[in-house]
Amino acid sequence: MCGIAGKLVRSGEPAVDPKLVAHMTAALSHRGPDAQGVWTASGIGLGSSRLAVIDLSDRARQPLSNEDGSIRLVFNGEIYNFRELRHELEMRGHRFRSETDTEVIVHLYEDEGPECVRKLDGMFAFALWDARTRTLMLARDRLGQKPLFYWHRGDTVVFGSEPKALLQDTTVPNEVDEEAIHHYLTYGYVPAPLSAFKNIRKLAPAHYMLVTDGELRLSRYWTLDYEPKLQGSMGDLGVELDALLARSVERRLVADVPLGALLSGGLDSSAVVALMRRSMSGTIKTFSIGFEEPEYDELPYARAVAAAFETEHHELVVKPAVTDFLPRLVYHYNEPFADSSALATWCLTEMAGRSVTVALSGDGGDEAFLGYDRYAGAVLASRLDCLPMVLRRQVASAAAWLPAATPKTAVARLRRFVGGLDLEPAQRYGRWMSMLLVEHKLKLYTPEFTAAWGESDSLGLMESHWRSANALAVVERFAHADVGMYLPDDLLVKMDIASMANSLEVRSPLLDHHVVEFAASLPVSFKLRLGTPKYLLRRVMRAYLPSGILTRRKMGFGVPIDQWLRGGMRELARDLLLGRTATERGYFEPATLQRYLDEHESGQAQHHMRIWGLIMLELWHRTFIDRRPDLDQTGAPTSLPTLS
């Protein structure tokens, strides 16, 4: 696991300044504190900051090369089938200098070129330089577990694992992309391929890019298919799923460093711990967090799982005081990021990182096996679509009369559900997933910002993913939209940044693409059955998990931001959003901001998601736009904004 960075300039130019590449790499030292490597040649420079996990020796130091040095590679991630690939390549005559999985990619590219990515089973982002054709290849894994950003102008390409690495090159401007901010205010994250910085782009999941003589060529190498459906009984397909999950977990236990598991007490993370215990006889370290607010606290469930599998269990209760490190959090997330559970994820990975270098997680199970409550809601809503539109509009309008309710309550879910019944399915789902709707933006945006983006809606981005699915069932189209946007641009960003900021590698067995493909091919009734989500997964896990874990209601990994904004964070929110620094940016109407704060504090409305999203946007501006982030000699930022 690493941070990677580099720069490509015009053919025939001198070598890229190694000091620049070293500085870019230093900006990513948190991702890989064990070894830094820089290589430069005519027109190209590559850098790596490595977290050593497999082969801890200097032989695995990056950039790695082939036998004659014509191929150079920097790599971030893990290749779980590297042993099989290595054996195959050795049989073809290739010779390896290290035991690392990274070197497999070098020799596989020699034989198969860019299409080598199709054989890689893992999470990855890499940059490969082919001196024979003077071609730079950038690639990203199928589901987007590992990030990769790039900036292109003329014959120059600057790239890295995080934008802060690119911004060490002063030719890359730190300018706001207002279109990206508009989309951020819809979703709470910036959807790919945009970034919050003008002209810095994200390489999309399941894509590779080739750059030759300044020309960029993008190729998609994988698509998730939902048809045709698998044929077989519940029992037979359950046996197949059990074997797939066991294989996925076993492959993710290969490491030369201590490993553990992130345990929420939900079905997915509990299943991972159960499968780890089946494959391991030694100590398993598990890590869980909780809250003082009982409706958010899952620690009792996590303890039950830890006890059942006799793990060495570690816990932490998260309190509002954690917001003191918000500037540090914003610095590491690089873009405005409104998912408040990033706070909890940070605390969890920080705790785990003190004891282990690798941790397994349950990420991906909800998207693969239809685990979210909103999927059941989507099925119910689609059945109501047969009602006359006039009736659906009357029901939808009634949402405004429902009382403002705290999150995680039945009233809150009902209010959200009925509010979109008069829309087409794709628009409805986009509304459910939105932080700010068009009608909110028209009141929040200033006339200047409205002129640019206020009358256009970004829900079409999600709708395009919804329509691109080859699924026949509406609910699977929603899941496909989540796999295309919410999963890679929110959930996986949240985990990647939090874990790598704490030098922790997180592996997700349920995101194995074989598992995801198998789940997509299951009949819908095997995943969502009579309102029960993850039906087949639950059935398989009966043999392993306590019954209380199998039957508990999903809570979600939430943070009580709604309550904190009425308590200890109240003054912080007002200072940040209503202060002169924020209002002079000219984005938002101060009167609307004042109303959000007043109504939320009084309980008249639930604006916590919007307020939190606006706080994170303001702090991002102060961190990355008001000044270009600079580093000290250790790679740490020299200064961060204050919270006032």
Which residues partner with 216 through β-bridges? 211
Backbone dihedral region for residue 493 (phi beyond 0: left; psi -120 to 50: alpha; all else: beta): alpha
Residue tagged active-site, from 2, 116, 347, 386: 2
Which residues partner with 295 through β-bridges? none
Residue 8 three-state SS: strand
Residue 547, amino acid: S
Type and span of the H or E element at 315: strand 312-318
CA 307 to chain centroid, in Å, comes to 30
What is the spatial distance between Cα 574 and Cα 250, in angstroms, rounded to a whole number? Answer: 49
Give 438's contacts (C-beta < 8 A, 6+ positions apart).
Answer: 457
Q: Locate tokens 């730190």: which residue?
A: 174
Residue 405: how many CA atoms within 13 Å on its side-chain side? Answer: 15
Length of the chain measured in residues: 644
Active site residue 2: yes
What is the spatial distance between Cα 36 and Cα 59, in angstroms, rounded to a whole number? Answer: 13
What is the spatial distance between Cα 631 and Cα 593, in angstroms, rounded to a whole number? Answer: 34
| Cβ contact 160:6 at 8 Å | yes
What is the spatial distance between Cα 550 and Cα 639, in angstroms, rounded to a whole number? Answer: 47
Residue 543 three-state SS: coil
Residue 284 token pair: 């398993």
Burial (0-12, 13-18, 19+ Cβ within 10 Å), 451: exposed
Type and span of the H or E element at 561: helix 561-564
DSSP 176: B
Buried b or exposed e, range 187-207, using 16+ CB within 10 angstroms = bbbbbbebbbbeebbbbbbbb
Catalytic residues: 2
